[in-house]
Amino acid sequence: MNNQPLIKNVSVLVLFLFIPAFLLAGCSAKAQDQSKDQGLTATLPSNANRDTTVYIVPGKKEAEGVKSMMESDRFNKISTWGRYINQGIGYEQAGKYEQAEVEFKKAIEVDKNDQGVPRRGLARVYEATGQYQLALEQINWLIQRTSRKDVLDELIVRKQNLEKLLATKNRTNV
């Protein structure tokens, strides 16, 4: 039996298995050493009753900056706005359209500057419940304020479909 191929296979095994494992072990130890030197701090939001976001910042000063940012009125406004939208989407997906409508309207009230997302949600809710005129009003509002061509094209198609549905509904009601 020839021992040469066996020796060659063992050396290949050592090169491709043990050396990368050894290097990886050394790199992870260096990363741990660096994190000890920088004194990384984790900061959690105080109202972490939903998904928890962990912010890792180097040092106490930066951690205090993140904490003050999270306690700011703007951050709370954005957080509340997002919570209403998430709840509205959840209700919408569950077929609870009345609750979804309420949540989307709350999101609009919280942030008058950023109404696109909740108005899209309202349009979907109104469309799903057959309130085509109200859905059309939301779509028209969005069309007037949209500058992105791809979004505008989608909104125009939705508007045309809603106008057809509304015309069909009006013909059957007469």
pLDDT in tens, 56-90: 666 777 767 766 666 777 778 888 999 999 999 99
Residue 2 domain-assigned (yes or no): no
The radius of gyration of the chain's CA atoms, rounded to the nearest angstrom, is 28
Residue 60 domain-assigned (yes or no): no
Residue 16 domain-assigned (yes or no): no
Q: How far apart are CA 8 and CA 14, in angstroms?
A: 10
- The answer to whether the pTM exceeds 0.75 is no
> Nearest-CA neighbor of 101 among 126, 138, 130?
126
Return the CATH number at 137: 1.25.40.10
Q: Which residue has the tokens 């191929």?
A: 5
Residue 32 domain-assigned (yes or no): no
Residue 61 domain-assigned (yes or no): no
- What's the domain range around 92? 73-173
Q: How many domains does the chain have?
A: 1
pLDDT of residue 161 exceeding 90, the answer is yes
